[in-house]
Structure formats: structure tokens, C-alpha cells
Amino acid sequence: SAVISQKPSRDICQRGTSLTIQCQVDSQVTMMFWYRQQPGQSLTLIATANQGSEATYESGFVIDKFPISRPNLTFSTLTVSNMSPEDSSIYLCSVEGTGVADTQYFGPGTRLTVL
Amino acid sequence: QKEVEQNSGPLSVPEGAIASLNCTYSDRGSQSFFWYRQYSGKSPELIMFIYSNGDKEDGRFTAQLNKASQYVSLLIRDSQPSDSATYLCAVTPGDGLTFGKGTHLIIQP
């Protein structure tokens, strides 16, 4: 499977500010995904990011709050905008597996705390 | 609305026994089914996937799928203390994954 890295690994931010999370993959992938895992909860898909097209957002997530960039086949960013304490979560990117349909592999995650 | 249900546990199993984890899903259009293992403070790790009805074995792990009953299970044979983790069931009819809340498994030495 691909090697996935995320930056930053953790951050503490003030409410009202924005944070951009980076996701880097060591091989080219068509599809990348962003998930949120709130404390004690499971993962929720935020959006799907394909290179060369606008991200597709899930119900309850909007582009103004979570803008996503996908400039090439190995990189994506997720911005959490105008943060509130409710945005405190782990944010994970994932990439599609190669050769096995629908599989996804996850990066290490970014732990965000909003004060 | 797509839903994936799991018993949150904790499920406590003696070392060496079989751990049985269960999952039901609501979307009959789901095509692919996955089990992820998540250690505390770590990201999910894919351990099994299954697409067709029946059993699929990989080492000590067996995934079972029954689409008619909308039921997926994971059996872990010869359970080890290192198997103690949260196990997440995930399904997809499309691109993204819908996850259950996970079952916390504890293997008692």
C-alpha cells in the first residue's frame, strides 16, 4: 500500500482561525478522501477529492467551511475554516488502494484542538 | 440514510479463544465490506475486505458476509493480547466509506 503522510500531526488553535492540513502520498492516486473522527466517535467522510475537479462533499459538510485542494495526483489539502471548539477532531486523509476495488488506506491523522 | 451498526462493547475474550465481531448495514446497494483495526491514538488499518457472500479467510482472520441479511462478521481465531483494539466495520456502495462506531475488543491474557 502507499505511504501517506500528513502535516501537521497535531495542532492547538484559537477559535475563529483557520488551519490547513496537508496530505502527501508516495505514489500517484486518482482518488483521495478526507474524514473526521470526533472524540470517541467513528470516522465520517467529509469529501472526496479527485485531481482536476471540484471536491465532492458529503451531507453536512460545505466547501466554505472545509475547502479542499487537489493540485496533483500525490497531494491534497483540507482547510478547516473559522474554527470553533466543535471542530476539535482527528482529521484523516485516505487514498484508494491499487488493484483491490474500493479499498482505502489511511494517513496517520492530524489531531486538532480548538480553544 | 446509510447506517452501519456495531455493538460498541467492550467485548472481552480470553487469550487463545475466538473473538466474534458483528456488523449490520442498512444500504442494500452496498457492494464492498471492510474491517479496520484501530489502536488507541492511531489511524485505522485495513485487515480484511469481502465482496461476495460467504467466508473469506486470511491467517487468523475470517470475514463472513450475508447480503440477504445485511450482515458482516469478523472472526479472530487464537486471539492474542495484541488483537486488543477497536474494530471498525465499513461499507461502500460508491467512493467513500461509511463506518460503524466500532467494537472495542479486549483480549485477556
pLDDT score, position A17: 98
Q: Are B102 and B86 in contact (CB under 8 A)?
A: yes
User: Residue B1's pLDDT band (boundaries 50, 70, 90)?
Assistant: low
Å from B57 to nearest chain A CA?
A: 16
Grid cell 465481531 — which residue?
Answer: B21
Flag whether pLDDT at A1 surpasses 80: no
Mutate which of B89, B95, B101 to test chain A, going by most A C-beta atoms within 10 A? B95
User: Residue B88's pLDDT band (boundaries 50, 70, 90)?
Assistant: very high
pLDDT score, position B47: 96
Flag whether pLDDT at B12 surpasses 90: yes
* Bridge partners for A33 per DSSP: A48, A94
pLDDT score, position A37: 96
Å from B79 to nearest chain A CA?
A: 24
Grid cell 452501519 — which residue?
Answer: B4
Q: Residue B96 corresponds to which cell in the numbers above? A: 467513500
Taking the C-alpha atoms of residue A49 and residue A54, their distance in angstroms, rounded to an integer, is 7
Give every CB contact of residue A60 below 8 A, 6+ residues apart in sequence: none
- Reduced 3-state DSSP string for B44-75: CEEEEEECCCEEEEECCEEEEEECCCCEEEEE
Is A67 exposed, middle or buried, given 0-12, 13-18 or 19+ CB atoms closer than 10 A?
middle
Does B3 lie at the interface with A, CB-CB under 8 angstroms? Answer: no
Mutate which of A102, A103, A105 to test chain B, going by most B C-beta atoms within 10 A? A102
Q: Which residue of A has its CA nearest to B31?
A: A102
Residues of chain B contacting residue A1, judged by C-beta atoms under 8 Å apart: 46
